[in-house]
C-alpha cells in the first residue's frame, strides 16, 4: 500500500498539533484567543493588543504595548527597490498574488529574518513583518488605483495608519472616520486567528522545514486566496451582486447550491468546524448594520444577504448539513461600505490573520515540531519494465 492503510482527505478527522493559542468549539460556536472570548476581545481590545496576545500569550501592559508599537513603527519602512518589483505587475494583477510575491520578496531585503533561532532574532522578524505588511497591503491597492506609493503617519495608531496609507490622496489629507477605524479594528480582530485552518496549516508545514517566517507567510497568503477559504469574502459579494442583477432571485441560487450537478456553492455558508452560527459572523452582521447606518450607506446587497440567510436557515438541505453563515458572509458588505474594492477583501483577511499565522509559526518552532511529511495509500501501477522509445 506504500505506507498506510487508511487516509483522511482534507484532514477532516486528523489533529496536526497541540496548540495553546486558539480554542474552537464548533458545536457551540465558541471562539477564544488565549482563553479570552472573541466577543470580549472584539468589544474591548484593539487589534495590536490582540496581535500581542496571540503572539506572546498575554494581554500587554500599556508599556509593553507602547514598546511593541514603537518597535513595529521603527521597522515599517519597505526598501524602495520593492517598488520596482511592484511596477512589474499589470494593474489587473490580483492583490493577493501581489501580496504573496512582495512578502516573499521582502526576504531579499531582510536576510536576517530567515534564521530566527534566538528569541531576539524572532522578535526582530516579527516586528519587521508587522511593520512592513500593512505597507505592502496599501501599495497593492494604490498600484491598482494608479496612485503614488506612499507612507502614512507615525503619529497615528496602527489601524488608523493602515487606512491613511491605503486612501490618502496626493492632493488632500485623509480624513479619519472613527466609525471606519473602529470597524476595521474589529474586523481585523475577528480574523486574527482560527486554529489549524487551511492557510495556518500551510504556514506551519512550510515553517516545519525551517523555511523562514516571511516565506511561510507568503505560502499562507496563497492558501488563503482560494474561494473555499479566505477568497470566499470576495466570492460572497460577487454572488450577492449576481443575485441583485438577477432581480434578487435568491430561490434560484438556493436551488443551484443544492444541485449536486452544479458546482455552485452558497459562498459564505458552511464551515469545517462550526456546526452552529460562526460567532464572528454574528458580530460582523451586527456591525454591518451599525457601520452602514453610521456612514449613511444604503446597500441593497445587505438586504439580499439577510434574505438569503433567512432562507438558508429554514431550508432542510442547509439545516440537515448544519450550514450557517461564516466569517466571510457579511464582512465584504462592511469593506465595501468603507470604500475597499472587492479584489482587496481577501487581502484585508490576510492583514487580520497575520498575527495568528505568526503566533502559530512561532509556537511550531518553539515546540521543535518535526518536518511535516504525511504518507499515502498507493493506487498506481504495479512494477513494470522500461520500454525503449523505439518500441512505444
User: Is position 243 an interface residue for ligand SDX (rule: CB under 6 A)?
Assistant: no
Q: How far is the CB of 356 from ligand SDX (least distance, A)?
A: 8
User: Is position 272 an interface residue for ligand SDX (rule: CB under 6 A)?
Assistant: yes
Nearest partner of 94 among 387, 270, 382, 344, judged by Cα: 344
Out of 127, 257, 308, 344, the only residue in the binding site for ligand SDX (CB under 6 A) is: 257
User: Is position 221 an interface residue for ligand SDX (rule: CB under 6 A)?
Assistant: no
Question: Interface residues for ligand SDX in 146-205 (CB under 6 A)?
Answer: 194, 197
Question: Interface residues for ligand SDX in 309-328 (CB under 6 A)?
Answer: 321, 323, 326-328
Q: Choosing from 94, 194, 271, 278, which is the catalytic residue? A: 271
Q: How far is the CB of 246 from ligand SDX (least distance, A)?
A: 17
What is the rounded CA–CA span in Å between residue 189 and residue 47? Answer: 5
User: Is position 267 an interface residue for ligand SDX (rule: CB under 6 A)?
Assistant: yes
**Helix pair angle (198-207, 213-225), 10° resolution:** 150
Q: Is 94 a catalytic residue?
A: no
Asked whether the beta carbons of 72 and 158 are under 8 A apart, the reply is yes
Question: Quick one: residue 271, left, alpha or beta (phi over 0 = left, psi -120 to 50 = alpha)?
Answer: beta
Q: How far is the CB of 335 from ligand SDX (least distance, A)?
A: 15
Cβ distance to ligand SDX smaller for residue 305 or 327: 327
Number of residues that bind ligand SDX (CB under 6 A): 22
Question: Interface residues for ligand SDX in 31-50 (CB under 6 A)?
Answer: none
Question: Interface residues for ligand SDX in 273-312 (CB under 6 A)?
Answer: 273
| Coil, strand or helix at 97 | helix
Nearest partner of 16 among 222, 219, 201, 207, judged by Cα: 201
Cβ distance to ligand SDX smaller for residue 26 or 57: 26
Q: How does 22-35 read in b/e, with b if 16+ C-beta sit within 10 Å?
A: bebeeeebebbbbe
What is the rounded CA–CA span in Å between residue 272 and residue 262? Answer: 21
* CB-count burial class (<10 Å; 0-12, 13-18, 19+) for 40: exposed
Q: How far is the CB of 385 from ligand SDX (least distance, A)?
A: 41
Chain residue at closest Cβ approach to ligand SDX: 270
Q: How far is the CB of 262 from ligand SDX (least distance, A)?
A: 10
Nearest partner of 2 among 390, 378, 383, judged by Cα: 378
Q: Is 328 a catalytic residue?
A: yes
- 46 CB contacts (<8 Å, ≥6 apart)? 157, 158, 159, 185, 189
Cβ distance to ligand SDX smaller for residue 272 or 306: 272
The binding site for ligand SDX (CB under 6 A) comprises 10, 194, 197, 228-230, 232, 257, 265-273, 321, 323, 326-328
Catalytic residue set = 271, 328
Amino acid at each position: 500500500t506504500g505506507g498506510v492503510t487508511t487516509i483522511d482527505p482534507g484532514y477532516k478527522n486528523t489533529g496536526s498539533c497541540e496548540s495553546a493559542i486558539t480554542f474552537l468549539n464548533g458545536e457551540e460556536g465558541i471562539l477564544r484567543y488565549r482563553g479570552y472570548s472573541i466577543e470580549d476581545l472584539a468589544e474591548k481590545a484593539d487589534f495590536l493588543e490582540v496581535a500581542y496576545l496571540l503572539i506572546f500569550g498575554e494581554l500587554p501592559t500599556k508599556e509593553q504595548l507602547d514598546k511593541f508599537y514603537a518597535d513595529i513603527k521603527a521597522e515599517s519602512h519597505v526598501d524602495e527597490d520593492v517598488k520596482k518589483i511592484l511596477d512589474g505587475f499589470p494593474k489587473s494583477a490580483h492583490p493577493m498574488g501581489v501580496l504573496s510575491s512582495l512578502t516573499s520578496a521582502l526576504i531579499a531585503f531582510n536576510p536576517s529574518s530567515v534564521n530566527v533561532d534566538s528569541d531576539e532574532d524572532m522578535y526582530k522578524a516579527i516586528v519587521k513583518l508587522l511593520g512592513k505588511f500593512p505597507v505592502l497591503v496599501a501599495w497593492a491597492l494604490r498600484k491598482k488605483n494608479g496612485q503614488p506609493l506612499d507612507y502614512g503617519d507615525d503619529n497615528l495608531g496602527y489601524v488608523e495608519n493602515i487606512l491613511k496609507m491605503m486612501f490618502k490622496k496626493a492632493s488632500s489629507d485623509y480624513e479619519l472616520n472613527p466609525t471606519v477605524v473602529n470597524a476595521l479594528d474589529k474586523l481585523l480582530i475577528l480574523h486574527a486567528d482560527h486554529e489549524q485552518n487551511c492557510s495556518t496549516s500551510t504556514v506551519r508545514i512550510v515553517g516545519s522545514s525551517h523555511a523562514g517566517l516571511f516565506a511561510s507567510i507568503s505560502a499562507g497568503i496563497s492558501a488563503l486566496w482560494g474561494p473555499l477559504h479566505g477568497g470566499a469574502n470576495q466570492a460572497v459579494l460577487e454572488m450577492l451582486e449576481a443575485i441583485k442583477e438577477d432581480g434578487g432571485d435568491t430561490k434560484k441560487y438556493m436551488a443551484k447550491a443544492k444541485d449536486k450537478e452544479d458546482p455552485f456553492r452558497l459562498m459564505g455558508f458552511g464551515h469545517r468546524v462550526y456546526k452552529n452560527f460562526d460567532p464572528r459572523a454574528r458580530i460582523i452582521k451586527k456591525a454591518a448594520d451599525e457601520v452602514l447606518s453610521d456612514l449613511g450607506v444604503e446597500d441593497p446587497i445587505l438586504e439580499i444577504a439577510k434574505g438569503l440567510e433567512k432562507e438558508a436557515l429554514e431550508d432542510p438541505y442547509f439545516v440537515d448539513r448544519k450550514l450557517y453563515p461564516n466569517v466571510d458572509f457579511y464582512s465584504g458588505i462592511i469593506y465595501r461600505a468603507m470604500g475597499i474594492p472587492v479584489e482587496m477583501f481577501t487581502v484585508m483577511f490576510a492583514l487580520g490573520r497575520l498575527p495568528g499565522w505568526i503566533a502559530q509559526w512561532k509556537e511550531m518552532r518553539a515546540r521543535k515540531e518535526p518536518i511535516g511529511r504525511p504518507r499515502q495509500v498507493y493506487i498506481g501501477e504495479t512494477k513494470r519494465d522500461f520500454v525503449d522509445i523505439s518500441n512505444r
